[in-house]
Amino acid sequence: MFVKEEGSASVQAAMGAARSVVTSALTYVEMRAALARMAGQRRLGREAHEATLRRFTLYWGSVAMVPVDDALIARAAELAEEHFLRACDAVQLASALVTTAREPVVIGAWDRDLNAAARREGLALIDPGPA
């Protein structure tokens, strides 16, 4: 959505059609880390990195966050063990499951293990389609 890559168009379309965008508070750290990594690998120039970071920071203010609290961490630990997920992916899945108790959720992830776990938990996925 902020950097053109595989699935960007699908994510933008899904987020544009969504009534609301909800994500784990962890997403803020993940996004900042991803942008820094892209800049460090020279996939984003300095100006592009700064502009993308500004756009993300502005956008972040419109996102509803699921707080990372003790209950969420406990659920994420269970999901990590049950589905053999990495820690951050388990936190994201737990956040989606907390949200789906209140409203329908569609997951936008391109990690095969996270997507498989989300499907097993009954969540819908964004079809990545073309970039």
pLDDT tens track for 47-88: 999 999 999 999 899 899 999 999 999 999 999 999 999 999
Residue 97 placed within a domain: yes
Rounded CA gap, 125 and 119, in Å? 8
* pLDDT of the residue at 110: 80
Residues linked to residue 23 through DSSP beta bridges, in sequence order:
65
Q: Are 79 and 71 in contact (CB under 8 A)?
A: no
Residue 2 placed within a domain: no
* pLDDT of the residue at 69: 98
Cα atoms in the 13 Å half-sphere on the side-chain side of 4: 3
Residue 67 placed within a domain: yes
Say which CATH number the domain at 45 has. 3.40.50.1010
| Domain hosting residue 16, numbered range | 8-125
Residue 90 placed within a domain: yes
- What is the radius of gyration, based on Cα positions, of the chain? 15
Query: Is 80 exceeded by the pLDDT of residue 130?
Result: no
Residue 3 placed within a domain: no
Query: Is 90 exceeded by the pLDDT of residue 22?
Result: no
* pLDDT of the residue at 131: 46
Residue 28 placed within a domain: yes
What are the tokens at 35? 């942008």
Query: Is 70 exceeded by the pLDDT of residue 99?
Result: yes
Task: Tell me which long-range contacts 53-62 makes (C-beta under 8 A, separation of at least 24).
Answer: 55/2, 56/2, 56/31, 56/32, 59/2, 60/28, 60/31, 62/21
Residue 130 placed within a domain: no
Residue 1 placed within a domain: no
Q: What is the domain count for the chain?
A: 1
